[in-house]
Structure 1
């Protein structure tokens, strides 16, 4: 029998006592592609008190373990640490120092090593190796003594404003995970001259006040004379992408047909484009306005007559593209000042149909309509989801001038960690398109009944339902009222269940007049 085995790429290295000499260890390699075993003959097969042909597994019994670090297998047994080089096929005994721990303790240490060096065990081909935290502290503890120096030292400084470290173990782990996200982000962006720090809301009150930090749990980015609050998912990949966007120029120039084609395909984003004579023109006001919204709203400009003609842009004119709209709105007035542009964007940035994105998801969710959101779930890659999304676009285009309407589209594929939570909270099957109204205070919700497996609602039917939401005929309190009615009916011995509400309440079905008219 084999006592230990470790995976090295597509091969498995297995170790067992030599059948003829129990003081020796045999090494076998199993190739998972060819499904073929090979017995190795390690170099320097010495003998003696501390054999370099491997640990004596027969004597050490079960008191041994093996781990792979880089290209070396470390095996502890019989109170000795042996190392086997999988490239050279050579045994050695590392020169260790310190007090040798008891066997159970060392076993635990060796078992934990792969978790700390995950990249060694989950090695990808060259060019696809995901970064792992290297253990180097890069995130600063910002205080009164060092915050000015940090601001001067880096081109861009990111500060996480947090509550004092918690005392409970669960919250401590959460705090440590946040620190790890910042450390990994700092490691990946180490060559970009971006600094990272943490500001304690209790110990560093004066620093927070001087820097304008207000919301605990938020990340603030200091670039030049601007402060940008990150309102997205605090994960390393989302944060890295966000910061790289902040490093880019706030205005992207379009000068040829390929760039123009890429611009026209960006239907999910709010974007502005202006036509100017050159950089020394009214373009300066456009540039200064763009800095106030970077990187959440994208600004483009062109100095090219052909590009401007294709977009029907006049000199010093700016077009505003709402997400999913086919035609842009023209900002009134020419030429435009910085504040003209800022005021218009601020007034119109809440789109009729907007997609929930990881980089600004909390800003979107906090921008509710009187405490509620109309929320639509649809997987764009799914045929039904794609069809439903196209219906939503039609509804949005027909109602783009209604300031009371804003639909938040969520693609569950973008938030795999939240999908189960949403399904449990809203009692939904997110493998199918859904639309409902959600109270952002208590997550109470009412959802349009779309249980018909064959047909999705038409744009007209959706507009009727949305009109019921906007007029208050459908609201999140209906769920509670329906439950109260059922309780009253039970008390009277009658079934007071309303067919409009199913699955524990919260399902709306407009069947007042004709059952054949159900959505």
Structure 2
């Protein structure tokens, strides 16, 4: 009996582990084709079948093997997203493809103007997705699209949740009721920016008091800024709200996130971004982020300042690319100015994260960046200078080689001259000896008595000649030595 209960316990534990594993399993593609290839004949009928239609307007892959494989990966990503969305009960959501080369007519009718983009059709709205092409990020964004444009704050717990949202632009309005014309104008404005900007409203006097708001007032919150901007001119029309938001939709400090990464990167300031890398879960990264928040709070009125914060944890696949492109170590906080087009960059000296800059030091650096004193184009100038230095070194080496060759030629010429002088001296000595011998023979033939005198004279002459020749040879040798010393 005891063994029976042991067996039951083991089976139950195995069943529990199996259930837990099933609950946490990420979905695998089941092989069913759910993504529609839209064309001129079927696009209307297919889109009518769904409450929401997700359309990927893609470039034609052509005959390139790499482009075709990349497109296959993208199509598989959409298939997985469609599989997950197929299980969503509240809305029927379809996914389709439109080829930019083969289906130009459809793209024009649907007003699709940017290829390699995802468009979401819902009711009368068309929303462009500017985020990472990944199934989980895309599905999360679609779920945000399906939510109401305005979220209502009814109590203190929901108010706490509102206050904890700090990474996004958010607006909150206080109105009398759902039927208020001012609330309806607020809701219409929210639809224009949904889901990129979050809109909240309250009809509770207690919540309004906690937010220090008056009736029909709308407050605008920048990311990471505690104090809101009260939109002037209440009560507002829809157009007045839309105009104000469009004039203030570039925050002083904003976070690059997977669902908005391309939207933020395209929104540069005069072709440049001030980029700050900081890992929030890291102690140094958290400290640097708090400094950035203080800088943003102090400079929120500066329309030219917009710092893009990137948490490396959000983009693990991009880390090697960023480190190689920017020449930085992302294990430490970094801040720099980056050219949005060619990725040239200049980075603040952070001492490898040992000492964080103070708020004042960071503000001084940012001021230099905004004034142009710190310019990413200087990176190109440095590269040009390095090339010039290399050319100068090559020229110097060539000059040295030429000088060495000239010296060698001079030495060779000196050696040749010395050899010629020695040969001439030897020839002169031989000629003198021959002349002396001839004179002796002639004297012997003429007079024997004079032989001794002549011989003595000849000997004297020979001695004198030899001495003269020796002196000449010595002089020549001395001259040659002097010439060698000069060279």
Report the TM range for the smaller structure's normalisation. Answer: 0.7 to 0.9
Which whole-Å CA distance do the structure 2 matches of 1:123 and 1:411 have between them? 35
3-state SS, counterpart of residue 443 of structure 1? coil
* 1:199 has 2:95 as partner: no
Q: TM-score, structure 2 length as denominator?
A: 0.75
Per-residue CA deviation, residues 238-278 of structure 1 (Å, 9 max, x unaligned), is: 00100001011111000000000010010111000000111
Shift of 1:152: 2.1
* 1:251 has 2:150 as partner: yes
Cross-structure match for 2:8: none
Per-residue CA deviation, residues 144-186 of structure 1 (Å, 9 max, x unaligned), is: 2222223322111111001123322221111011101111101
Per-residue CA deviation, residues 123-150 of structure 1 (Å, 9 max, x unaligned), is: 9713111101111111111112222223
Which whole-Å CA distance do the structure 1 matches of 2:393 and 2:93 have between them? 69
Shift of 1:313: 1.1
Give 1:321-360 correspondences, 5 Å limit: 321-360=221-260
Q: Please provide the CA RMSD for this pair.
A: 1.9
Pick one of 358, 364, 371 that aligns with 1:464: 364
Cross-structure match for 1:374: 274
Query: When the two structures are aligned, how many residues end up with a matched partner?
Result: 375
Which whole-Å CA distance do the structure 1 matches of 2:69 and 2:259 have between them? 23
Larger radius of gyration between Structure 1 and Structure 2: 2
3-state SS, counterpart of residue 242 of structure 1? helix
1:150–1:157 contact (8 Å) kept in structure 2: no
Pick one of 330, 335, 348 that aligns with 1:435: 335
Give 1:220-369 correspondences, 5 Å limit: 220-281=119-180, 282-369=182-269
Pick one of 25, 31, 51 that aligns with 1:155: 51
Q: TM-score, structure 1 length as denominator?
A: 0.70
1:321–1:329 contact (8 Å) kept in structure 2: yes
Which whole-Å CA distance do the structure 1 matches of 2:43 and 2:176 have between them? 42
Which whole-Å CA distance do the structure 2 matches of 1:466 and 1:418 have between them? 25
3-state SS, counterpart of residue 221 of structure 1? strand
Q: Which has the higher strand share?
A: 1
> What residue ranges of structure 1 are gaps of 5+ in the alignment?
1-86, 88-121, 495-519
> What residue ranges of structure 2 are gaps of 5+ in the alignment?
1-13, 395-487
Give 1:11-410 correspondences, 5 Å limit: 125-190=21-86, 191=88, 192-281=91-180, 282-410=182-310
> Which of 1 and 2 has higher RCO (CA within 8 Å, sep 6+)?
2
Which whole-Å CA distance do the structure 2 matches of 1:487 and 1:195 have between them? 56
Which whole-Å CA distance do the structure 1 matches of 2:273 and 2:154 have between them? 39
Which whole-Å CA distance do the structure 1 matches of 2:241 and 2:32 have between them? 44
1:319–1:329 contact (8 Å) kept in structure 2: yes
Cross-structure match for 1:113: none
2:332–2:353 contact (8 Å) kept in structure 1: no
1:306/1:140 CA distance change after superposition, 3 Å:
same
Shift of 1:226: 0.5
Which whole-Å CA distance do the structure 1 matches of 2:377 and 2:384 have between them? 11
Shift of 1:484: 2.9
1:123–1:129 contact (8 Å) kept in structure 2: no
Per-residue CA deviation, residues 479-503 of structure 1 (Å, 9 max, x unaligned), is: 1222333444555569xxxxxxxxx
Which whole-Å CA distance do the structure 2 matches of 1:178 and 1:296 have between them? 24
Cross-structure match for 2:6: none
2:275–2:336 contact (8 Å) kept in structure 1: yes
3-state SS, counterpart of residue 292 of structure 1? helix
